[in-house]
Amino acid sequence: MSEARAAFGDAAAAWLDLSTGINPHCWPTETVTIDWRRLPDERALTALETVAADYFGVDRAYVAAVPGSEIGLRMLGTLLPGPARFVPPTYRTHAEMFPTSTRLEVDALAGVAAGTVVVANPNNPDGRTVAAHDLLALHERLRSGNGWLVVDEAFVDADPIISVGAQVHDAARLIVVRSFGKFFGLAGVRLGFVIAPQPIVARLRSLLGAWPVSAPAIAIGTAAYGDAGWIVAMRAQLVAEAAALDAALIGCGLMPIGKCPLFRMIAVGDAAGVFTRLAHAGILTRPFDDDPHRLRVGLPADAAALARLERALTHG
């Protein structure tokens, strides 16, 4: 946001940041009391991993809390055998977590039977999803060839039916990485989880040491994952708001791409021009240097923000 202000100044209205895929409706942290003077407590960490494991549908023995899903991915790059392949377009981390990573097109997944493969599901930035049964079939082929499947499920919370985390066990060669901050709207908490066979979990815990995540992250994460009412209501709310965003984009002559309700990709002839026009209106979206015809648009927080986006797309 600071770079946008430096480049475009401040609009008449406050900046509207639609450049991320973070839920604009954050879980109410004010309900949690945090003692900032205390170090993280081991029993509290166990409680966090237990409630998170219940939420993921897997035994706690397969879950390790990490200080953000990106760090979890990068650590896995030091623990798993390479070379690895990743499916673009996706997070830069997927290309960087192994020294010799190479690209693998999504249409080629059905023919892969060896090596380590990293897949984001849902994918960022285009919202592409792969059915759970297709990922599990890929895992079986990789396992037979002594390979590994790593599934980055940072955006799966809004549609957990496609998650494969519950299929992790000690005989599997399947690892799932989950993010707390995106669905709960609290990216600054820096909390994530690696769901993996117990030997991998043990190595992660050894590398992370006694205090893998902060006391505030433990307290907030434990309370949020246990808030079933908020989770169910938020999933329904995000689906409805994503449908409203789709309708607005279509009304502006733009076709929304993707199935993750926290963001949409749009294809336009001059993405840089649309990005600049929106920025001059105080609306920040996400352009891509490697694809000059696409923009990612995050979910507006309310009807007023959605209407503002519509006006800027229609009138500039």
Q: What is the pLDDT of residues 45-95, one digit of tens each?
A: 999 999 999 999 999 999 999 999 999 999 999 999 988 999 999 999 999
Domains (ranges, CATH) in the chain? 2-25+229-315 (3.90.1150.10), 31-226 (3.40.640.10)
Integer Cα distance of 22 and 17 in angstroms: 10
pLDDT of res. 283 = 96
pLDDT of res. 2 = 61
pLDDT of res. 7 = 58
Side chain identity, residue 79 = L
User: What percent of the chain lies above the pLDDT cut of 90?
Assistant: 91
What is this structure's pTM? 0.94
Structure tokens at 100: 């010799």
Structure tokens at 104: 């693998």
pLDDT of res. 12 = 55
Estimate to the nearest angstrom the gap between the alpha carbon of 262 and the chain centroid: 10
Side chain identity, residue 239 = V
Angle formed by the axes of helices 198-208 and 69-79, to 10°? 110
Residues of the chain with pLDDT under 50: none
Whole-number average pLDDT of the chain = 94
Q: How many CB atoms lie within 10 A of CB 202?
A: 13
pLDDT of res. 41 = 93
The answer to whether residues 147 and 98 touch, using CB atoms and an 8 Å cutoff, is no
